[in-house]
Amino acid sequence: MSTDDIVDDLTRDTQNSPEELLTRSFFFVCAVLSIVTTVSIVVLLVTEAAKFFSITAPLMGIEGPTASIVDFLTGTTWEIGNRRFGVLALVSATLMITIGSAIIALPLGVATAIYLSEYAAPRHRAFLKPALEVLAGIPTVVYGFFALIYITPVIQTVLPGTGTFNLLSASIVVGIMIIPMVASISEDAMSAVPDDLRQAGYGMGATKFDVSTGIVVPAALSGIFSSFILALSRAIGETMAVTIAAGSQAQFLNPIDPTAYQEGALPMTAAMVQLLLGDITGGGLAYRSLFAIGLTLFVITLVMNVISDLIAQRYREEY
Amino acid sequence: MATDTRSGDIESFGTVSKTVGTVFRYVLLAATLFGIVVLGALLVYVANDAIQPLTADPGWHLTFLLTLVLPTLGVGAYLYRRDTDALRFGATTVGMTVVTLMFAGGVGMIFVDILSPFVFLAYAVALALPFALVLALQRRARRIPFFTRAGATTLAFYVSLLGVPGPVGAVAGLPTIVPGVPALIQSLPTVPLGWMSLTATLGLGVAALVGVYAARVRDRRAGLFAGVGALAAIGAAGAVGPAFGVTSVPAVVLASVAVVPTATYAAGTAVSRPERRIGLLVPAVVIGGALVGEVAVGALGFAGPQSWVDWQFLTSAHSRTAVDAGLYPAIGGSILLMVTVALLSFPLGVGAAVYLEEYAPDNRFTRIIDVNISNLAGVPSVVYGLLGLGVFVTYLGRSTGTVLIGGATLALLILPIVIISSREAIRSVPNEMRQASYGMGATKWQTVRRVVLPRAFPGILTGTILALGRAIGETAPLIMIGAPSVLFSLPTGFTSKVSAMPLQVFAWSSLFASEDFYTKAVPAGVVVLVSVLLAMNSIAIVLRNRYQSEQ
């Protein structure tokens, strides 16, 4: 090897050699793909939903039947055959499942997080954490079947008059499904609380109970709230379990009324599956209503995710 | 004020009530266990419905209790007291046997019904030739300019796969002068038997891996012996399989995917950690006990349980009657979907993670990508289904419900999860290692390829397996893209219609809803689906634990 070779080697431009540029652009394209996905979701949902509403349909050059946006957002009857598209009937069912699953998942999830972060011995953690992961990993179809076949009969013996399809069983399984999500994000927040704070508490004579409830939980509150919102957004978007267990008859129910949980209803996601399984002609009004519901769902979950992000960032205690 | 303090307050130092704390602790424990216990009970119920253990003869239970359960418990308890590491080794071997057997079932299905072993051989040779050429070129001459090397590589693969002048020439109207290697091999007058092709491809690959592993455990000579031995064993399985009632192709798959890897792991650990050898008692007792029990039950004439999860259920298609219904096309569809999803999401997800962790400048655009990915992870799966429906079917005009569209939709769905877990794995690579690599004069890409990715690989793999587990259980996106819920034959390629296990379970529990399906076909389908998922989850957890203890 001559000296020139060595000098060449040592002074070569490694940043902009073709190989470096090629690999860097490949990685960049991969990262940009996520933006492309989001943009295409938004564009697709907005353009297809625009063809559905009578205000915007002429802009898209669509002739034929359309639906009024006011009726869509305020109507409480969902009957595709009669062209009555009141999304509130679907939203009320989704809301009820969200409330029902929240009643189960939020307290249990936070309690699990406190136990794992403050009380559990490392040996028990090593067993409990994978078990909770399995809870989140079971397919939602399986949860739906469990709700319909095993949980509903139990409910029917306790509360006679409950229908075969009911929102209560759907809420229970969705609640179980999202416990791990609440637990793992809250636990991360609690583990991030510095040990000095706990030691200070013990130094003041506090018991473990006082330290957990009086110091750790308040310090991790922003993380806990953001886990709540993320889990609820997951409950709203949950599809197969509610499709199987909650029924297929759309009706507007009062979410505050506990007895309404014994009835069946049609949540948004289940309505989308039902539309697809029925005979819808490509490009028809029913087909476009699919995208209108999809847009509603996407906006609700997106707003919740953004709020959760904001809470986690803005109200995080800096240590 | 100290003087004002009543004496009772000071005394209370010694009399803090423990009750509240104790109650609180057990309430927390109960809350933690609630979900796990409920799910466990439901799984027991569904397994009972599907397998019906109570329909078996009491004698059947007694036989297996004596031959399988009691000896296993005995050996387990003995090892637990004596040497937990040995017990863990034994249990891992048993687990590996079960998981590799399931995996072999899937691979066998591909080679029996989807891809002919001979075609596989033809393409394997066509890919191996230019690969070997490029490797030799790289070893011989290191200083070729990048573009020459890239051009030569592309040309070699093109000629080998498609021939001269190939499709490009065909567009220009040129006649084929030399056909590609796959076409050449497939036009051979004598066709090797299926199991021979498979031994030469799958068997050779597995044998090479076995050789490398053995060489690392012991030395080069041992590696050579182990590799040749493995290849001989796989070939022998194909040759003698039919004599024992197993067709040759499945026999080769069984040997190369299940038997040889498990035996290699057991033998390798026994050689490198002699003190754990006693752990081999566990698989011996479990497998031996099951075989002895089976023979004894047959000889004594005890009837087994009337399980709905049986060979007939696993190998037949949907039927109107629950008793005859099976899961075969759905299992095949799920396998093909997983292959597609893995091929699409792994490179794209890891690529995005590498960009964000290693290359991305800290600017607004990077932060947008960052926020965007975490938001994509929260988008409901039905919406991804709508995306697949709208983009692939309505705009690109593809036919509904094919393997490719289903796979692409599911890949987009799990991409954020793959990216997030890969980023964590890449972030955990210590910075000193990168600096050391730069210090030796390596470029960024060389550092990523030789230092960062190998070190982060186990973590990336764990995250990807967990994400694939999510994809295999998804139903809603498949319904959205119009996958048929009832399919009577396996998909034959990437453009044929596909069904999947969860979709079939959904169809049985909603479209064909009847007492018969509820108590027979659906529980059986749920048991198969959950077993596959638990197997994938346990692989991921074992990998992660091993990886974490290494660090």
Contact state of A142 with B530 under an 8 Å Cβ cutoff:
yes
Interface check for B466 against chain A (CB to CB < 8 A): the answer is yes
Per-residue pLDDT tens digits for B327-351: 888 998 999 999 999 999 999 999 9
Burial class (CB in 10 A: 0-12, 13-18, 19+), B432: exposed
Contact state of B526 with A145 under an 8 Å Cβ cutoff:
yes
The residue written with tokens 């169809």 in the block is B507
Identify the pLDDT of residue B437: 92
Question: From B480, which residue of chain A is nearest by alpha-carbon distance?
Answer: A276
B21 interaction partners in chain A (CB closer than 8 Å): 207-209
The mean pLDDT of A24-44, rounded to a whole number, is: 92
Least confident of A35-49, B94-108, B178-192: B178-192
pLDDT winner (highest mean) among A5-14, B411-420, B492-501: B411-420
Question: A239: which residues sit within 8 A by CB, 6+ positions away?
Answer: A140, A269, A270, A272, A273, B380, B381, B382, B475, B476
The mean pLDDT of A293-310, rounded to a whole number, is: 90
**For chain B, what percent of residues have pLDDT higher than 70?**
96
B371 interaction partners in chain A (CB closer than 8 Å): 309
Identify the pLDDT of residue A289: 87
**Chain B: nearest CA to A210, how far in angstroms?**
8
Interface check for A27 against chain B (CB to CB < 8 A): the answer is yes
pLDDT band at A283 (very low <50, low <70, confident <90, very high): low
Question: From A179, which residue of chain B is nearest by alpha-carbon distance?
Answer: B35
Question: A13: which residues sit within 8 A by CB, 6+ positions away?
Answer: none
Partner A, chain B 467-496, Cβ-Cβ below 8 Å: 469-470, 472-476, 479-480, 482, 485
B506 interaction partners in chain A (CB closer than 8 Å): 141, 144, 240, 243-244
Dihedral through CA A105, CA A108, CA A109, CA A110, nearest 10?
130
Question: A76: which residues sit within 8 A by CB, 6+ positions away?
Answer: A86, A88, A89, A92, A252
- Residue in A141, A202, A211, A297 to test binding to B, most B beta-carbons within 10 Å: A141
Whole-angstrom distance, CA of residue B114 vs CA of residue B366: 43
The residue written with tokens 């190369």 in the block is B256
**Chain A: nearest CA to B259, how far in angstroms?**
28
In this predicted structure, the answer to whether residue B154 has a pLDDT above a threshold of 50 is yes
Identify the pLDDT of residue A171: 94
In this predicted structure, the answer to whether residue B135 has a pLDDT above a threshold of 90 is no
A276 interaction partners in chain B (CB closer than 8 Å): 479-480, 482
Mean pLDDT rounded to a whole number for chain B = 86
Whole-angstrom distance, CA of residue B265 vs CA of residue B230: 13
Interface check for B396 against chain A (CB to CB < 8 A): the answer is no
Identify the pLDDT of residue B151: 83
Higher pLDDT, residue B87 or A283: B87
The mean pLDDT of B218-223, rounded to a whole number, is: 87
- Token pair for residue A264? 């069946």
Identify the pLDDT of residue A168: 93
Per-residue pLDDT tens digits for A116-158: 999 999 888 888 988 898 888 899 999 999 999 899 999 999 9
A137 interaction partners in chain B (CB closer than 8 Å): 466, 469-470, 473, 533, 537
Partner B, chain A 237-256, Cβ-Cβ below 8 Å: 237-240, 243-244
Mean pLDDT rounded to a whole number for chain A = 87
- In this complex, which of B27, B373, B529 lies closest to A139 when CB atoms are compared? B529
Partner A, chain B 353-392, Cβ-Cβ below 8 Å: 354-356, 358-360, 368-369, 371-376, 378-384, 386-387, 390-391
- For domain B315-550, give the CATH number: 1.10.3720.10
Partner A, chain B 52-81, Cβ-Cβ below 8 Å: none
In this predicted structure, the answer to whether residue A6 has a pLDDT above a threshold of 90 is no
DSSP category for residue B254: I
- In this complex, which of B350, B376, B530 lies closest to A38 when CB atoms are compared? B376
- Give, in order, the Cα–Cα distances in Å from B261 to each of B234, B248, B265, B290, B535: 11, 19, 6, 21, 17
**For chain A, what percent of residues have pLDDT higher than 90?**
46
Contact state of A236 with B354 under an 8 Å Cβ cutoff:
no
In this predicted structure, the answer to whether residue B7 has a pLDDT above a threshold of 60 is no
Least confident of A78-82, A107-111, B66-70, B427-431: A78-82
DSSP category for residue B402: B
- In this complex, which of B16, B45, B379 lies closest to A207 when CB atoms are compared? B16
The mean pLDDT of A206-221, rounded to a whole number, is: 91
Question: B111: which residues sit within 8 A by CB, 6+ positions away?
Answer: B117, B120, B194, B198, B249, B253
A116 interaction partners in chain B (CB closer than 8 Å): 32
Least confident of A217-226, B13-22, B247-256, B494-503: B13-22
Identify the pLDDT of residue A137: 87
In this predicted structure, the answer to whether residue B1 has a pLDDT above a threshold of 50 is no
Identify the pLDDT of residue B551: 57
In this predicted structure, the answer to whether residue A64 has a pLDDT above a threshold of 50 is yes
Domain ranges in chain A are 3-50, 70-314
Among the listed residues B368, A208, A308, A302, the one whose alpha carbon sits nearest the alpha carbon of residue A316: A308
Identify the pLDDT of residue B2: 46
Interface check for A26 against chain B (CB to CB < 8 A): the answer is yes
Identify the pLDDT of residue B196: 85
Interface check for B514 against chain A (CB to CB < 8 A): the answer is no
Domain ranges in chain B are 84-304, 315-550
pLDDT band at A232 (very low <50, low <70, confident <90, very high): very high
Identify the pLDDT of residue B12: 57
- For domain A70-314, give the CATH number: 1.10.3720.10
A273 interaction partners in chain B (CB closer than 8 Å): 382, 476, 479-480
**Chain B: nearest CA to A81, how far in angstroms?**
20
pLDDT band at B313 (very low <50, low <70, confident <90, very high): confident
The mean pLDDT of A178-203, rounded to a whole number, is: 92
Least confident of A226-235, B177-186, B453-462: B177-186
Interface check for B8 against chain A (CB to CB < 8 A): the answer is no
Is omega for the bond preceding B165 within 30 degrees of 0, making it cis?
yes
- In this complex, which of A33, A119, A237 lies closest to B382 when CB atoms are compared? A237
Interface check for A50 against chain B (CB to CB < 8 A): the answer is no
Contact state of B474 with A38 under an 8 Å Cβ cutoff:
no
- Give, in order, the Cα–Cα distances in Å from B503 to each of A279, B335, B393, B476: 18, 13, 19, 8
Contact indicator for B55, B305 with CB cutoff of 8 Å: yes
In this predicted structure, the answer to whether residue A236 has a pLDDT above a threshold of 90 is yes
**Chain A: nearest CA to B538, how far in angstroms?**
9
Least confident of A171-175, B66-70, B155-159: B155-159
In this predicted structure, the answer to whether residue B10 has a pLDDT above a threshold of 70 is no
**Chain B: nearest CA to A226, how far in angstroms?**
13
Identify the pLDDT of residue A211: 92
Largest CA distance in chain B: 110
pLDDT band at A76 (very low <50, low <70, confident <90, very high): confident
Contact state of B390 with A233 under an 8 Å Cβ cutoff:
no
Contact state of A130 with B541 under an 8 Å Cβ cutoff:
yes
- Token pair for residue B82? 């004596």
Partner A, chain B 434-453, Cβ-Cβ below 8 Å: 441, 443-445, 448
**For chain A, what percent of residues have pLDDT higher than 70?**
94
Whole-angstrom distance, CA of residue B442 vs CA of residue B462: 28
Contact state of B360 with A31 under an 8 Å Cβ cutoff:
yes
The mean pLDDT of B86-113, rounded to a whole number, is: 89
Question: From A19, which residue of chain B is nearest by alpha-carbon distance?
Answer: B146
Question: From A151, which residue of chain B is nearest by alpha-carbon distance?
Answer: B42
- Give, in order, the Cα–Cα distances in Å from B242 to each of B84, B197, B234, B246, B377: 41, 17, 14, 5, 49
Identify the pLDDT of residue A282: 56
Task: Annotate chain A with DSSP letters as a single string.
Answer: --HHHHHHHHH---TTSHHHHHHHHHHHHHHHHHHHHHHHHHHHHHHHHHTTBTTTGGGGT--S--B-HHHHHH---EETTTTEE-HHHHHHHHHHHHHHHHHHHHHHHHHHHHIIIII--HHHHHHHHHHHHHHHHS-HHHHHHHIIIIIHHHHHHHSTT--SS-HHHHHHHHHHHHHHHHHHHHHHHHHTS-HHHHHHHHHTT--HHHHIIIIIHHHTHHHHHHHHHHHHHHHHH--HHHHHHS-S------TT-GGGGGS----HHHHHHHHHHS---TTSHHHHHHHHHHHHHHHHHHHHHHHHHHHHHHTPPP-
Task: Tally C-beta pairs within 8 A across A and B.
Answer: 259
- Token pair for residue A49? 């939903």
Whole-angstrom distance, CA of residue B345 vs CA of residue B354: 14
